[in-house]
Amino acid sequence: MTKVEKVSIGKCAFTLEESAYTIALAYLDSLDKYYSPREGGHEIMEGIEERMAELILEKTGGANIVVSAKVINEIIDILGRPEVLEDDNQSKQYYGGTKYEGKKKIYRDPTNRVIGGVCSGLGNYFNIDPVILRVICVALFIIPVFSFINLSGTILIAYLIALIAIPNADTLQKQAEMKGKSLHISDIEKDYSDGTIKVKSNNSDSVFGRICLSIIGIFLLMIGISGLIAGGVAAFGTSLAFSNHFFASEIIEHFNDRLDFGCFYDGSIPIAIKVLLIVFSSLVYFLPFVAMIYGGICLVFNLKSPSWKPGLVMFILWLVALVGLFVSASMFSWDAFSTNWHCFHWW
């Protein structure tokens, strides 16, 4: 039976094979001897251990898996061998690690996402604060509410295309490439030495960013609530009007010069089609406003989306309802025409 050792790396508990434990301990000890005399050495070592822990979790799939010596050696090859750091000139090069030239690649950023990480990924690539991109996207999306310029459909389609076309940075290697960096320990040292990590943390939680996101959330809440109220009032008024026989007859008489509306109330059209038409049209109208309210609450109160992704569920349900509305409307129109064609005046 293989002997195992319990060890904490980067504040995460792991179970390593004895040989893997020996290799990892020797590796971290050699790095500690190199960095401990230097200013900020303790923070750099913490960063290296955190990176090592992330790689172990990524390669094993969980902290409860016994880590083999092969996995530890693969991780050391990615981070870089410590003997290279003995020479200052050589330590600036990626010897013994995964060499990367520093060219950025476009990925969706799952670590700083609001919906799909598209704006955050583009922000990393173009060195733009993701909050600014989100404000622009939301502003272009809600312009039709205040003007006759309709860009919401274009923005939505463009975002969906980007969501599908841009790969997700679901590994540490991709996340490093997204920022034009490598996983090598020299990049970790550089981040801690020049304060990049600290600055990033400040930016992500900046007051300006929170204010902008809160304003967007308030706008979404206002639009969503207004849309629900308007739709509810319209639905109630319509049902009330047609429940009144006198008022309904006035409407029918007004349009009866070309079409005998009485034909459509003779029960010839299946009730199931009428019910489906009402249900699907209601979903198509109300779901976007419900999604706006949900998104607004998340932005205002800085809530993270749960694992079952309610926003994505609502979008898929809306697409299904849209297709259902088209099909049921086609069935309704065909049944109405084929059954009551004699109601139409062709002269």
Tell me, what's the pLDDT at 196? 52
Tell me, what's the pLDDT at 148? 54
Tell me, what's the pLDDT at 283? 92
Tell me, what's the pLDDT at 22? 92
Tell me, what's the pLDDT at 135? 80
- Which of 197, 196, 184 shows the shortest CA–CA distance to 31? 184
CA distances (Å), origin 294, targets 167, 237, 287, 320, 343: 26, 27, 10, 20, 46
Which of 41-80 are b and which e, b meaning 16 or more Cβ less than 10 Å from the residue's Cβ? bebbbebbbebbbbbbbebbeeeeeebbbebbeebbebbb
Tell me, what's the pLDDT at 211? 76
pLDDT along the chain (347 residues), means of 10: 83 88 90 82 84 86 82 88 58 44 80 82 88 81 58 70 83 82 76 55 54 78 89 82 55 51 53 84 91 85 77 88 89 66 52
Q: What are phi and psi of 99, to 5 degrees?
A: -70, 135
Tell me, what's the pLDDT at 237? 79
Tell me, what's the pLDDT at 130? 86
Q: Is the pTM here over 0.85, yes or no?
A: no
